[in-house]
Structure 1
Amino acid sequence: MSRRQPRGPRLPAWTATLTWKAAVFITVMCCALAALLGALVHVSVTNQTVGQARDRALSHLDEVTERYEAGDRLGPGAGVDPVGLPSRLRELAVSGQRGTMVAAHESRPTMWAAGPADGGRAIAVQVDYAQGARTIDGLDRAILGSSVLAIGATLLVGAFAVTRVTRRLHQTAQVARRISAGDLDARVEDPHARPDDTGFPRHQDEVAAVAGALDTMASTLQGKLLSEQRFTADVAHELRTPLTGLHAAAELLPPGRPTELVRDRVAALRTLTEDLLEISRLDAKSEAVDLDAHHLAPLAERVVRSSGEGTELVVVRDVCVDTDRRRLERVLGNLVTNAHKHGRSPVVVTVDGPVVSVRDHGDGYPEYLVEHGPQRFRTEGTSKGTSKGHGLGLTIALGQAAVLGARLTFSNAADGGAVATLRLPYETTGDGEETGAAHDGT
């Protein structure tokens, strides 16, 4: 059996934002550039300062060597094998070569220059290098300070520029989420995406192009949906008049099996037409709730009685909620009807506080319905004992639940069967009392 390797510590979620990544990138690049430029300036100035001190020391060494060979007094800062002469420089001078070296002498930076003398000794001079060392130290501090200021200024300017871009992207993402939630009137309306006074598009950046494309997509989608809604409403409305006449004519037919078939088909067609009209009203968001206080257990009991045999009611806990009784019965009735039509008995309606569930014991909902919700007229198999087809019943139930401010979800039980769960709006007051409240779905 393979064992999972323990994961390391995870970074906070805000580190995944574009602003944070851009800030890190700008900081790293500024630090790298400052370090490179600082190193170049430091090396250049150090070489120049050391070179000048070396030239002075070698020139002084030439003078002292001439005095030594003439037998004159060497003067201050010069001598043969003086105290403090670096051993490496002395070895170089004893070998017959001249050289220079910066070393500390009596706690002060000193430039040494040494050359060969008779008797295997070294003649050397020392030049004060404190001023040069201070110059280099001051330069290093100036480079560090200016680098910090430059990095800070660049980071602020870069963060400001990136924040403006990310703010626009965030606004575009919010509008996209609103559109996906059903608000087809939402638009980004990025000012950079608007045409100028001549009617031609401005010079758009990439964010403006995305915002403009999203607005165009939303407008096109809204137009198509409105066209479909008008078509559905018009078709359903136009069908009502001939169906009324057809129903009246069917009632005049003589009794018999053909008459029963005609009446049955006319009734099914009238039900379909009414469902289409109800869906068109839900799509237009023209429905308004009629709120009143109702206990869920008696309401669910009425739905169970009207559904006929094969439906069981289980009340775990009854509560009183403010809701629209007619719409709630419509939702539960559609769920129970769908369970009987596409599932298997027994169908169990359970009331547990503000949560009402309807479960059958069939094969369960198809995967697309569990993941994406019911889709109009989509069916997958129509044989008895399956839960593949759903027609318009579940679509209407979902729409009416939204009008009530309730949440309707679909799932499959672990031991088989489809489960529809309706969660009504319900709140608990501060003193422990529970209250129910439905929201206006207009």
Structure 2
Amino acid sequence: MRLLPTSMRWRLSAAIAVVSALVATALSLLVRTEFAQTQLSDARQLQDQRLQLVIREYALSGQAALGSELDASALPPELMSAVKGGNRATYLQRAADGSWIWAAAETDGKVLSLRSPYSDRDEALKRLDQVLLISSLGVVILSSVLGVLLVSRLSRRLRLAAGAARRVADGDMTARVRDVIKDRPRDEAAELAQAMDSMADALQERLIAEQRVTADIAHELRTPVTGLVTAAELLPPSRPAELVRDRVRVLRVLVEDILEVARLDTATERAELSELALAEFVRRRVAGVAPEAAVTVNEQQPARTDPRRLERVLVNLLVNATKHGEPPVEVTVDGLTVTVRDHGPGFSDDLLKEGPSRFRTGSSDRGSGHGLGLTIAVAQVKVLGGTLTLDNAEDGGARATLVLPDNT
């Protein structure tokens, strides 16, 4: 269960909101503290000035004026101790009946004190708290909205760049990041886009050069190989002649496979779709390529696909299962899904992790070969718009699962 958002957009937005809240809280606390201290300092100073007036009036008339008292019974003990020895002091008292600011001084052995309410200043502090709270919430909300907008722009550009990179990885060598993010500010994302486009350009040039060399070699080999096939057929019957014919046939198949891979690498191949009964189609092809294989039909469903390319995929999967696996070979048709499995040693971990690679067989246990069969099958399935999954069955053996698209 995912409890927290994991995308960069929401993580950065959350970080901006948290930082804004912390800054707003710190500033609010600082303002409140300074305001409270200023209020208290002003109240003490004002009360002390009033006390001085009361002391002068008491010295002249002997009477406590302006609401002052001599030896007041409610005088706080802390203030009483502070004025001993002829001192003047102020004191803020928090009591059940409210807050009071006191000023007192010792005169003729008596304590002359003056008390004034402090509740009006407490109310001012409460109003300030409300203003600070509303302001802080406003700052956090505004900064969060701005953060989401700014981060969303960056996140969108990165998603577009990732989409273009995935298209390149899927074989679309014309995709470029600069074409999807358009004109943007020169920032880190733009630098990343430029670097990715440079990498894609270099990769495209290298792949085109490789495809051209592969195609040229295959084309150049086709003519002499055809001549070898013709010459081999003219040899008188003998064991050496059979060996020559067999090797020439293998060479001819290899050249044709290389040409097919070169065509598929250009990503210009298009499927020619037509309606067919998939289960019957699979039965006929299995009977012609691997008659010993068992065919099971769980569900029949018509398919609209390219019969020639589908046949190529089935033949390659069956040849791989019969040549590199062990019997029994089982073919299962379930709707638009065709599964081919054997009971041999299975695919290697490298093949399952990295996928089929030309001129590299999956495992030495599965026999020798040039590794083009599965490579061609994967490329043809891509042209058909389907998926081909390679894995190993739980009870042993290699398994290839072909899923055709529903084009009906």
Fold match by TM threshold 0.5: yes
Partners of 1:332 and 1:192 lie apart in 2 by: 41
Alignment pair present for 1:41 and 2:31: yes
Alignment pair present for 1:271 and 2:261: no
Paired residue for 2:339? 357
Deviates more, 1:211-220 or 1:185-194: 185-194
The alpha-carbon deviation at position 215 of structure 1 amounts to 0.7
Paired residue for 2:285? 303
CA deviation profile, 1:88-129 (whole Å, cap 9, x unmatched): 43454467643212346896653211223566x532112454
Partners of 2:94 and 2:340 lie apart in 1 by: 91
CA deviation profile, 1:346-395 (whole Å, cap 9, x unmatched): 2122222222111111111111222222110102665xx62675621111
Evaluate the alpha carbon distance shift between residue 95 and residue 397 of structure 1 in structure 2; reply closer, same or farther with a 3 A threshold. same
Partners of 2:332 and 2:351 lie apart in 1 by: 22
Alignment pair present for 1:328 and 2:328: no
Evaluate the alpha carbon distance shift between residue 285 and residue 32 of structure 1 in structure 2; reply closer, same or farther with a 3 A threshold. closer
Paired residue for 2:176? 187
Alpha-carbon RMSD across the aligned residues, in angstroms, is: 3.0
Paired residue for 1:239? 221
Q: Secondary structure at the match of 1:349?
A: strand
Evaluate the alpha carbon distance shift between residue 330 and residue 39 of structure 1 in structure 2; reply closer, same or farther with a 3 A threshold. closer
Equivalent runs, 1:220-239 vs 2, <5 Å: 220-239=202-221
Equivalent runs, 1:21-420 vs 2, <5 Å: 21-82=11-72, 84-93=74-83, 97-103=87-93, 109-117=99-107, 122-129=111-118, 132-189=121-178, 204-379=186-361, 386=366, 391-420=371-400
CA contact under 8 A between 1:294 and 1:320: conserved in structure 2? yes
- Corresponding residue pairs, total: 408
Q: Secondary structure at the match of 1:16?
A: coil
Partners of 1:313 and 1:275 lie apart in 2 by: 27
CA deviation profile, 1:311-340 (whole Å, cap 9, x unmatched): 222233333222222222221111111111
Unaligned ranges ≥5, structure 1: 1-8, 195-201, 427-436
Paired residue for 1:429? none
CA contact under 8 A between 1:94 and 1:117: conserved in structure 2? no
Evaluate the alpha carbon distance shift between residue 388 and residue 141 of structure 1 in structure 2; reply closer, same or farther with a 3 A threshold. farther
Partners of 1:176 and 1:192 lie apart in 2 by: 12
TM-score in terms of structure 2 length: 0.88
Unaligned ranges ≥5, structure 2: none
TM-score in terms of structure 1 length: 0.82
Evaluate the alpha carbon distance shift between residue 37 and residue 381 of structure 1 in structure 2; reply closer, same or farther with a 3 A threshold. closer
CA contact under 8 A between 1:358 and 1:421: conserved in structure 2? yes
Richer in helix (by share): 2
CA contact under 8 A between 2:171 and 2:267: conserved in structure 1? no
Paired residue for 1:434? none
Evaluate the alpha carbon distance shift between residue 364 and residue 203 of structure 1 in structure 2; reply closer, same or farther with a 3 A threshold. same
Q: Secondary structure at the match of 2:178?
A: coil
Q: Which amino acid aligns with 1:17?
A: S
Q: Which amino acid aligns with 1:417?
A: G
CA contact under 8 A between 1:53 and 1:127: conserved in structure 2? no
Partners of 1:301 and 1:175 lie apart in 2 by: 41
Deviates more, 1:89-98 or 1:76-85: 89-98
Partners of 1:95 and 1:387 lie apart in 2 by: 109
Q: Which amino acid aligns with 1:40?
A: L
CA contact under 8 A between 2:24 and 2:136: conserved in structure 1? yes
Partners of 1:394 and 1:240 lie apart in 2 by: 22
Q: Which amino acid aligns with 1:344?
A: E
Q: Which amino acid aligns with 1:271?
A: V
Partners of 1:353 and 1:31 lie apart in 2 by: 57
Q: Secondary structure at the match of 1:356?
A: strand
The alpha-carbon deviation at position 262 of structure 1 amounts to 1.6
Evaluate the alpha carbon distance shift between residue 39 and residue 425 of structure 1 in structure 2; reply closer, same or farther with a 3 A threshold. closer
Alignment pair present for 1:425 and 2:405: yes
The alpha-carbon deviation at position 71 of structure 1 amounts to 4.9
Q: Percent identity?
A: 42
Partners of 1:226 and 1:75 lie apart in 2 by: 105
CA deviation profile, 1:224-244 (whole Å, cap 9, x unmatched): 112212222222222222222
The alpha-carbon deviation at position 134 of structure 1 amounts to 4.7
CA contact under 8 A between 2:161 and 2:181: conserved in structure 1? no
Partners of 1:279 and 1:295 lie apart in 2 by: 28
Evaluate the alpha carbon distance shift between residue 366 and residue 101 of structure 1 in structure 2; reply closer, same or farther with a 3 A threshold. same
Paired residue for 1:199? none
The alpha-carbon deviation at position 416 of structure 1 amounts to 1.3
